[in-house]
Structure 1
Amino acid sequence: MSIRCCLHPAPRWAGVCSILLLALLCERFAVASDTWPEFRGPRGDGIAVDQSPPIEFGDDKNLTWKTPLAGRAWSSPVIADNVIWLTTAIERSAEEVVELKLLSLDAETGELRKTIDLSTVRAPDSIHATNSYASPTPVIDNQSVYCHFGTYGTFCVDRSSGQVVWQRTLPLEHGVGPGSSPIVHEGRLILIQDGMDQQYVTALAADTGQDVWTKQRPPMEAPTGDQKKAYCTPVIVTDSLGREQLLCMGSQWMVSYDAENGEEYWRLYHGKGYSVVPRPVVLGDVVFFATGFNTPELWAGRIDGEGDVTSTHVQWAVKKGIPSKSSPVLHDGLLYLVDDNGVASCFDTQTGDRVWKKRLGGKFSASPILAGNHLYFGNHEGEVFVLTLGDDSEVVTTNQVEGQIMASPAVIDNALILRTDEAIYRFENPSPAS
């Protein structure tokens, strides 16, 4: 069921204009097919429409290589210049020590190239059983890869030498462990720091790690800090007014900041949701976001306002079947998502109406991707469901890999790069015979 709020539905031509604007933005930010630089890919939305990875794969089918991985980590792979970068955490329970490391692998062969020691954390805080000490995904920018482990450290590593260029520690009480991934924009490393003890957004100089700006989050109505924490990853978007916005979803509030100086453009109150994980997606002047734990909801809000826009810029809200962890995919006017318990849904972006619902099965945390003409959903049980697009979507195949899927996959050069809790895989269709 969807609830329409505050605004009348946009006219049909507005949707067409939004799609055209999105197409222009996609062209502006086009990248090479061999690059997957941050959480959810080149545009941060999990989409690689120009790619054609296999729809059927497994340990005995369309497997190019499989490389075992040490440690426990839910961070996703990031890729550039034929090198895959991954963070991991080696837990030594008897010693009460966690070793944080950065790994690099050859994307063609899967061979481990480097193991870079970043930090040894002694007596770390406990984390949730479903989290890891290395859940935030790194980000690649120019010759650097940036690794963020929340309160356990932030590191800039030179991709050529493997040397740590700088490191910072920004203490925070996460409650259940780190989760928010960093992004880089215009020479600034941007971090959402929504902990139990404090909540703020900060930008560091990407080349030095020095503070550029810090902005405190809006006041919250919450009895404890547990209901103030969040784990979302920010989004950069330019609205129809020409403003470059930094969208930072958090507990109770979605907030837009000026990416250059951190000044606030607008804020939208979404209720008592907290521990927000899903990364928002944007179409034209509308942002779509999930509201976190308690009862997850899916909201659509316009981004062309100023100040508190709660009563003026909400287009619709859906209050059932929404994930608390997995991010949505937006394509051709439709939103695709899967809730924590394995029910996939498709919603119309203009109205919030549910187009279809399908039970996939299993538990889900990883975000889906869209590659070529298919959607890929991976669950905790190591199953990857491949669906067609559109309002008549169907499950075309279900693939099984060993291990647990908690990390969102990547796509490069028509190959699927998939991380489990045990290994990382490269799947691709065989080359045609010459």
Structure 2
Amino acid sequence: MRTTLVLLLSTSFLSAADWPEFRGSNAQGHSEATNLPLTWSPTAGIAWKAPLEGIGWSSPVVIGERIFLTSALPVGGVEDPKADRSLHALALDAATGKPVWDVEIFTATSPRTHRKNSHASPTPVYEDGKLYVHFGHLGTACLDAATGKTIWSTQEFAYSPVHGNGSSPVLFEDLLIFSADAETDPKVIALDKTTGKQRWAFARQSDAKKKFSFCTPLIIEVNGQKQLITPGSGVVNALNPKEGTEIWRFNYDQGYSVVPRPIFAHGLLFISTGFDKPVVLAIKPDGKGDVTATHLAWSIDKAAPHDPSMVVIGDELYFIADNGILSCVDAKTGQVHYQERCTGPISASPLFADGKLYLQDEKGLGVVVKPGKTFQILSKNDLGEHTLASYAVVGSDLLIRTEGNLYRIKK
């Protein structure tokens, strides 16, 4: 049985149903799954409910019949915001929600975090039988996904954060790359994924007075060239992912605490510029050097998101502000089709699957919307539990992480 599991988790092939990183196999919040649930409640549509120890807002990763998460448990076992933290990675059986393994990766003196953050917010990333877990300034590790055994770990890249950690790592060829947008001297760092040793570091420069941000990078291809798109405070940089050298940059002045992961569609890059007032930008990513004055396609400064990432469905771009106002705009032109109240306060990123748009707000309300130029809510489903994590998909079911539980929602 264990041999079968090791072979399953060691294969380089990912099925369409797998969800190997933040926002899925295409990193854009799309799933090819069909026959997903439309309605659920605390007493209906629940395949299983698995209690989770500690506090963590990493979103689930799914490979075959395994679900992977991270969490931060209080040292000593008694929950206290001031307690030191035991940083864990864990695997659950997708069919039952039962634990497969649970391992401590690091311990850390508890630094202060924002109320909408945790010590285990970055989502892991999976590849070729290995699970890469990242706790921001608290450390990074590579695990055997079948057993949880540590292959390598490092805490060399500590920095002074603000509000904790948040940026999830990405993989590119033989590199593991993450943003380290600290209070001072913000960087993007690439590690050798087989050893954990640094391969390159890019020093981010901008005029933003507040340097900290939490954005997960995105790999795209433009005219045959790979680009690592990495928004930070005051600037989005496109880097050569092999070397960490800059291809182009676009400045947006004082925007900081940038969270939404970029989206790439119709030849345009869509980002949101962070606090204090976010603006959605559509940028043409085919330039060189400083493209601020030349490569903006369009922008919208009303109801832009601080935290949730965006999603493109067909010709439309959808984004939801943190106050729950959902916007549908023409992705190519920025023409607004609607901006409507949809959820309560929201931080999780939306999911497009089975012809439907799924949104999960901070109070546990899941709202399902019909894509299109006319606003139409298909269902509202309240779990009644605080949640900040984004959806994942397993088979034809949804995974929803709340403050204390992981739910598998079935049709």
1:18 corresponding residue in structure 2: none
Is the partner of 1:93 in helix, strand or coil?
Answer: coil
Alignment match of 2:237 (pick from 252, 255, 260): 255
Alignment match of 2:185 (pick from 198, 209, 213): 198
The CA deviation string for residues 304-333 of structure 1, in whole angstroms up to 9 with x for no partner, is: 110100111001110110110000011101
Question: Offset at 1:373?
Answer: 0.7
Task: Answer yes or no: is the 8 Å Cα contact 1:33–1:413 preserved in 2.
Answer: no
Distance 1:219 1:271, change over 3 A: closer
Question: Offset at 1:384?
Answer: 0.2
Question: Offset at 1:184?
Answer: 1.0
Task: Answer yes or no: is the 8 Å Cα contact 2:186–2:203 preserved in 1.
Answer: yes
CA distance in 1, matches of 2:220, 2:145: 27
Question: Offset at 1:412?
Answer: 2.3
The CA deviation string for residues 382-419 of structure 1, in whole angstroms up to 9 with x for no partner, is: 10000001112310100011311200010121111111
Letter in 1 for 2:395: D
Letter in 1 for 2:59: S
The CA deviation string for residues 144-201 of structure 1, in whole angstroms up to 9 with x for no partner, is: 1111111111111111221111111111111100010001111210011101022111
Q: How many equivalent residue pairs?
A: 395
2:61 corresponding residue in structure 1: 78
Please, which moves more after superposition, 125-134 or 246-255? 125-134
Matched, 1:89 2:56: no
1:427 corresponding residue in structure 2: 409
Is the partner of 2:137 in helix, strand or coil?
Answer: helix
2:216 corresponding residue in structure 1: 233
Alignment match of 1:125 (pick from 111, 125, 142): 111
1:100 corresponding residue in structure 2: 87
> Can you give the 5+ residue segments of structure 1 that lack an aligned partner in the other structure?
1-29, 430-434
1:182 corresponding residue in structure 2: 169
1:111 corresponding residue in structure 2: 98
Alignment match of 1:143 (pick from 117, 122, 129): 129
Letter in 2 for 1:359: R
For residues 1-16 of structure 1, the aligned pairs below 5 Å read: none
Question: Offset at 1:94?
Answer: 8.2
Matched, 1:158 2:141: no
The CA deviation string for residues 211-248 of structure 1, in whole angstroms up to 9 with x for no partner, is: 111111123242xxxx1111000000111x21110000
CA distance in 1, matches of 2:373, 2:82: 53
The CA deviation string for residues 101-160 of structure 1, in whole angstroms up to 9 with x for no partner, is: 1111000111111111111112x2211122111111111111111111111111111112
Letter in 2 for 1:293: F
Matched, 1:391 2:377: no
Distance 1:135 1:95, change over 3 A: closer
The CA deviation string for residues 227-285 of structure 1, in whole angstroms up to 9 with x for no partner, is: 1111000000111x211100001111111001111111000012211000000100143
2:363 corresponding residue in structure 1: 381
How high is the TM-score relative to the length of structure 2?
Answer: 0.93
Alignment match of 2:348 (pick from 355, 363, 366): 366
Say which structure, 1 or 2, has more relative contact order (CA 8 Å, 6+ apart).
Answer: 1
> Can you give the 5+ residue segments of structure 2 that lack an aligned partner in the other structure?
1-12
Matched, 1:41 2:24: yes
Alignment match of 1:67 (pick from 25, 50, 54): 50
Alignment match of 2:153 (pick from 167, 192, 207): 167
Letter in 2 for 1:266: W
1:432 corresponding residue in structure 2: none
CA distance in 2, matches of 1:31, 1:389: 27
CA distance in 2, matches of 1:95, 1:372: 43
Alignment match of 1:56 (pick from 39, 56, 68): 39
The CA deviation string for residues 8-67 of structure 1, in whole angstroms up to 9 with x for no partner, is: xxxxxxxxxxxxxxxxxxxxxx95133100000001111114433101112222211111
Letter in 2 for 1:416: L
Task: Answer yes or no: is the 8 Å Cα contact 1:33–1:412 preserved in 2.
Answer: no
1:354 corresponding residue in structure 2: 336
Question: Offset at 1:337?
Answer: 1.4
Task: Answer yes or no: is the 8 Å Cα contact 2:235–2:251 preserved in 1.
Answer: yes
Letter in 2 for 1:366: A
How high is the TM-score relative to the length of structure 1?
Answer: 0.88
The CA deviation string for residues 361-399 of structure 1, in whole angstroms up to 9 with x for no partner, is: 311011010111101111111100000011123101000
Alignment match of 1:293 (pick from 275, 278, 285): 275
Identity of aligned residues (%): 35
Please, which moves more after superposition, 59-68 or 315-324? 59-68
Task: Answer yes or no: is the 8 Å Cα contact 2:249–2:291 preserved in 1.
Answer: yes
Alignment match of 1:329 (pick from 308, 311, 316): 311
CA distance in 2, matches of 1:353, 1:272: 26
CA distance in 1, matches of 2:197, 2:82: 33
Task: Answer yes or no: is the 8 Å Cα contact 1:51–1:412 preserved in 2.
Answer: no
